[in-house]
Amino acid sequence: MDTICAVSTPHGMGGIAVIRVSGNGALDIVQQRWQGKPLSEMASHTAHLGHIIDSQGELLDEAVLTLFRAPNSFTGEDVVEISCHGSLWIQQQIVSTLIDAGCRAATGGEFTQRAFANGKLDLSQAEAIADVIASQSRASHHVAMNQMRGAFSRQLSTLRSQLLQFVSLIELELDFSEEDVTFADRERLTTLATDIKKVIDSLAGSYQAGNAIKNGLPVAIVGPTNAGKSTLLNTLLGDDRALVSDIKGTTRDVIEDTIVLGGTLIRFIDTAGIRESSDVIESMGIERSFKKMDEARIVLWVVDATAPIAELEDFHQQIAEHCQDKAVIAVVNKIDASDTQAIVNKLKGLDIKIAEISAREGTGVEQLKQEIITTAALPQVTDENAVIVTNARHYHALVRASEAIDRTLQGLSTGLSGDLVSQDIRECMHYLGEITGEISTDDILGEIFAHFCIGK
């Protein structure tokens, strides 16, 4: 493979920047631009102070060079990392002079793709690296780190190993079909296939929670106009994210933003006030409100404590059909301006959680946050061996693997011929192998690594 280089630190000016070089020619190319201890005399995993020069011998910067010799590097190739001053001009000049010396500019994710190609990690671990970089909360970071360490890969490897033993016994019978020899105990195989299906379904079942951990648990803030939804969003975020006005219908589009509560990323969605409206734009916003309500895991129904109590049932009927499988918290707002006892008593009859607040004054908001954390009930991910699926590609592969093992169980129960049962088992293995990259195509790899940042 040719030798690639790129800035691995974020774009922009900072105290330092790190430029990574990887490939068979990394040492020879960098040596041409290095003044200091010769790279040939450096031990792997050591750092050295020296100077970087351009092709004319002009000094570009004083830098620290760190050497990682193959195969004991991230990519499995010779890798050199140059820590220079963070000037954009210096970064550009060093990359440019390395390209002049024989490097090629790396594409997005190419260092990680080489690590995958050289067997330093599998595909699910490679994807986890991107998730670690993008993690925005303790929970998402922990899940990504578990996957990067190989917890998910080990579980999939165990499943594939069991399936391989399974299919080997059945296919061995096919070789001795004329002798009518049975190697595979159908009852034991059924038990094994059932156990494997439970594990696959458990992994697939963790995706909904995993997706919420990774991308933010969606919490929709709904209610009639002027109930205080936008004020509540601003208070929860600690920022004036949404426009607040006494004029009804001010919020005409969905506004989203995130905060971390209890180590979990929460994605709050402020929606347009729900009411009958002849305004075309406002009506479109209200339609989007219902769509966002359908997507949410938790719905904060903001109730105006100063509004007539008769409006409660009418509004509850409007949103009930969108909240059948969701947790609903009735947030009685404006408690600083009205007695809430009658409204709270009415809400208790609807059998939903209730929180009393003043979004404007901030009263009760911390208690509401705790209620959201409790209601979210996302799995704890402190166990380093816990596996929670966060990747849509992995989820869809697991669903297909589950369907294949279902067909296997049906085949075993109906006495289907061994060659057809074997085909279903191998299909299950195929989908599990897609997750780790044991079975992959250039198109899949290109799609995955194209979303990585350059330099990683």
Paired residues of 220 in beta bridges: 269, 299
Name the architecture of domain 4-117.
2-Layer Sandwich (3.30)
Residue 426, Cβ density class (10 Å: 0-12 exposed, 13-18 middle, ≥19 buried): middle
The pLDDT assigned to 50 comes to 97
Give the residue among 291, 290, 298, 294 at the shortest CA–CA distance from 315: 290
Q: What are the residues whose beta carbons fall under 8 Å from the beta carbon of 137, sequence distance 6 or more?
A: 213, 260, 263, 264, 265
Residue 451: exposed, middle, or buried by beta-carbon count in 10 A (0-12, 13-18, 19+)?
exposed
Residue 175, pLDDT score: 55
* Farthest-apart Cα atoms in the chain, separation: 88
Helix/strand/coil for 413: helix
Helix axes 418-436, 123-134, angle to 10 degrees: 40
Averages of pLDDT over each 10 residues, the chain, 456 residues: 93 92 97 96 97 95 97 97 96 97 94 94 92 87 90 92 82 58 68 93 92 87 82 82 45 71 85 53 56 80 83 70 78 86 82 88 91 79 71 95 95 83 91 89 79 83
**Rounded CA separation 261/241 (Å):** 18
Query: Under CATH, domain 128-206+387-437 is a member of which superfamily?
Result: tRNA modification GTPase MnmE domain 2 (1.20.120.430)
Per the CB < 8 A criterion, the answer to whether 326 and 377 are in contact is: no
Q: What is the dihedral of CA 264, 267, 273, 275, to 10 degrees?
A: -90
**pLDDT value at position 381?**
56
pLDDT score, position 71: 96
Domain ranges of the chain: 4-117, 128-206+387-437, 212-376
pLDDT of residue 209: 86
How many C-beta neighbours within 10 Å does residue 7 have?
23
The rounded distance, in Å, linking the Cα atoms of 217 and 260 is 10
What is the C-alpha end-to-end distance of the chain, expressed in Å?
Answer: 17
Residue 180's contacts (CB-CB under 8 Å, 6 or more residues apart) are: none
Measured in residues, the chain has a length of 456
Dihedral pair phi/psi, residue 448, rounded to 5°: -70, -50
Hey, which CATH number is domain 212-376, 3.40.50.1460, 3.40.50.300, 3.90.79.10, 3.30.420.140? 3.40.50.300
